[in-house]
Structure 1
Amino acid sequence: MKAAIIPVTPLQQNCSLIWCTKTMRGALVDPGGDLDRLKLAVEKAGVTLEKLLVTHGHIDHCGQTGVLAEELGLPIEGPHEDDRFWIARLDEDGAKYGIQGKVFEPNRWLKQGDTVTLGELTLEVIHCPGHTPGHVVFYHAPSRFAIVGDVLFQGSIGRTDFPMGNHQDLIDAITQKLWPLGEDVMFIPGHGPTSTFGHERKTNAFVSDYALS
């Protein structure tokens, strides 16, 4: 498995291109905008896209997902259906944030325990509410790798002051669903640099073992 980060939108959201190196088939995770840049990155990597994956319904993460899916004839998988509320307001939020947004209906809503496939890879779906109620994380156990969207960042966690956000749900999701995966798991967050769960358990001011003790 390989992954590449392509920052998109004025909010510099980390869209991820992930692919199976054996088949060179893959997916874009959270293609929120700057579609020409994303298509160029896919072409340069020599990857054949199978689908588009979405962690949650915020405009910078999925505002242009429906447009790209229609243009390329690709299915959309994710997020959890509890984020239908957010996806339904993409047009409205696009005008608010100056990012073009278009409402879409995923081909498949995801839930805890589901899996998604890319080539010969299988990723686990982990429902991590709090930042949004329907936020999901994609985890590839053999690579010790996760794409966590806006659940967790290097040194921080996702905001919970948006509609339907819940701080305690977010803390519980991180500590009860992500930490047990192992300290060596490397993750790509929705914004900013990569990190590992172990580093965040030691140093994160919000969810380190010390901060929560």
Structure 2
Amino acid sequence: MNYRIIPVTPFQQNCTLIWCDTTRQAAVVDPGGDLDRIRAAIAEEGVSVEKILLTHAHIDHAGGTAELAKELSLPIEGPQKDDDFWIQALPQQSQMFGFPVPEVFTPDRWLEDGDTVTVGNVELQVIHTPGHTPGHVVFYEPATQLALVGDVLFQGSIGRTDFPKGDHDTLIRSIREKLFPLGDNVRFIPGHGPMSDFGTERQTNPFVSDRWG
């Protein structure tokens, strides 16, 4: 599996284009906005997008979903169904943060812990990781030991839990009990900022490092 990170929206959210090297089939993960940048990346990589994947439904991750899905006739997979209230609240989120008003949508497939999603010949594991939002999911590709973690974990930090239905203790459990057991060598693409790996965060992240366990 290959990938390209495309920062979008004023929040510099890491929308990610992922694709299968063999088939050149691709997915757009978290198209929060700035669809012109996403379209340009798709064209430059010469891939064929077959679906949209969502880690969660905050506007900077999901704001461009309905428009892109309609434009390219794409199915939407994810997040977990407990994030539906965030999808329904996309117009209110846009007012709160000054984003363009997006269209509300219903995913073609809600995802659950233990599900898999495919992109060409690539298979990614779905891990339900509540805490930042109740329906947040992570996509993990074992062959390349790469995880797309949305806003669960960042280099040196963790996701906010002060939004509706966020919960700090639940988020910490999601990271320590569901992500870190995947292995120290797993690299991850966060929703914002630079990539890191679980081993580094276990050693140095002040919110979830082993020394504070």
User: Shorter-normalised TM-score: what interval?
Assistant: over 0.9
- Which segments of 5 or more consecutive residues in structure 1 lack a partner in the other structure? none
One-letter code aligned to 1:62: A
User: Any stretches of 5+ residues in structure 2 without a counterpart?
Assistant: none
Q: Which residue of 1 aligns with 2:144?
A: 143
Match for residue 74 of structure 2?
74
The reply to whether residue 121 of structure 1 matches residue 122 of structure 2 is yes
Q: Secondary structure at the match of 2:176?
A: helix
After TM superposition, list the pairs within 5 Å mapping 1:100-115 onto structure 2.
Answer: 100=100, 101-115=102-116
State the shift of 1:162 in Å: 0.4
Q: 1:71, 1:109 → 2: CA distance?
A: 21
Which residue of 1 is the match for residue 36 of structure 2?
Answer: 36
How far off is 1:96 after superposition? Answer: 1.4
User: What amino acid is aligned across from residue 78 of structure 2 in structure 1?
Assistant: G
What do you get for the CA RMSD once the two structures are aligned?
Answer: 0.5
Q: 1: CA distance between counterparts of 2:99 and 2:76?
A: 20
Question: Residue in 2 aligned with 1:94?
Answer: 94
**What is the correspondence of 1:1-213 to structure 2 with a 5 Å cutoff?**
1-100=1-100, 101-212=102-213
Runs of 4+ in 1 over 6 A off after TM superposition: none
Question: What is the one-letter code of the residue matched to 2:87?
Answer: I
Q: CA deviation at 1:92?
A: 1.2
1:174-195: CA deviation from partner (whole Å, max 9, x where unpaired): 0000011000000000000000
- Count the aligned residue pairs: 212
Percent identity of equivalent pairs: 61
Rounded Cα–Cα distance in structure 2 between residues aligned with 1:20 and 1:161: 37
Q: Matched residues in 2 for 1:85 and 1:151: separation?
A: 19
Deviation at 1:71, TM superposition (A): 0.9
Q: CA deviation at 1:95?
A: 1.6
Q: How many angstroms does 1:133 deviate by? A: 0.1
After superposition, give the CA deviation of every residue in 1:98-148 in whole Å (9 maximum; x if it has no partner): 112221100000000000000000000000000000000000001000000
In 2, the alpha carbon distance for the partners of 1:19 and 1:36 equals: 19
- Cα distance in 1 for partners of 2:59, 2:212 equals 31
Measured after TM superposition, the shift of residue 210 of structure 1 is 0.6
**Aligned counterparts of 2:42 and 2:192: Cα–Cα separation in 1:** 20
Tell me the secondary structure at the aligned position of residue 143 of structure 2.
helix
1:143-166 deviations in whole A, cap 9, x for unaligned? 000000000000000000000000
